[in-house]
Chain A
């Protein structure tokens, strides 16, 4: 599951690597703005073949939260 999430994060946020996942927080790094957030959500929905609840989309404010939330859809 984490591999899928990592792939989506790399592509959606245009990152070269995920060496330090603790810094991956919405609106705290330049790459993760609101537009990138929707790209990220679409990527995760495609990867997991699901539709996220609106609350989950809003709550997904960090990589760690993404892992926790996507566990529900895995």
Chain B
């Protein structure tokens, strides 16, 4: 019986891969044998070190490419790397994101531009670039990372929610358009996940968030990575256009 969770022979691009959810997905995919192309916006030394670590731990090819994902040339460079090295692309994970909170009336234009640029425009560029190379092969899986906030909204997060809701809309449209090419497009909507983003929260706020989760624990990046593995692997070959909440039953 074939191992449907194996990613051996598959090529995956992961944006925002140097930390948090992105690095958990990278590690998970490397452990399953995928060849990786990882992106981070800055800190080339950290990205290079992480690529070397994955290569030696899992004996898979790993390439790191720096670049601001809100710029079209970054996703183009990532896909061009897949083309020049492998002539194929199987999985593209649009993970890079920023969280910039602000009450209505107090959000500077720069925060709006950055949030929409990285969280949404970067995803649009990524889908366009990835689909072109996937179409030339047997298809593929595009996995977008949204947020529970993109589904239900939250006070102080109008801009973040807008960007993440946009990711869901993009996913649903792309899934319909790309299905005939056997390209699946799905979106994961994480809840409260233990990353650098939540470490800035005051204790009282942190406790309040935990109390809102039915499973009464914060999610781990590995919880999201496992969902990404399902969507990237052959376990989900008939799944497209879905919003997969990975939130432990969180209520916002």
State the A residues within 8 Å of B (CB): 38, 41-42, 45-46, 51, 53-54
Contacts and interface: CB of A to CB of B under 8 A. Distances in A.
Contacts of B132: 41-42, 45, 51
Contact of A42 (B72, B76, B135): B135
Given A45-B136, A46-B136, A54 B128 contact: yes
A49 B83 CA distance: 9
B83 A51 contact: yes
| Chain B contact residues, majority secondary structure | helix
B98 interface: no
B135 A51 contact: no
B72 A51 contact: no
A42 B136 contact: yes
A54 B72 contact: yes
Contact of A54 (B76, B83, B135): B76
Nearest to B180: A35
17 contacts: A38-B135, A41-B132, A42-B132, A42-B135, A42-B136, A45-B132, A45-B136, A46-B136, A51-B79, A51-B80, A51-B83, A51-B132, A51-B133, A53-B76, A54-B72, A54-B76, A54-B128
A38 B131 CA distance: 11
Interface in B54-105: 72, 76, 79-80, 83
A53 B132 CA distance: 11
A38 B178 CA distance: 12
A4 B35 CA distance: 32
A41 to B, nearest CB: 8
Contacts of B83: 51
Report which residue of A45, A46, A51, A53 has the largest number of chain B beta carbons within 10 angstroms of its beta carbon.
A51
A52 to B, nearest CB: 8
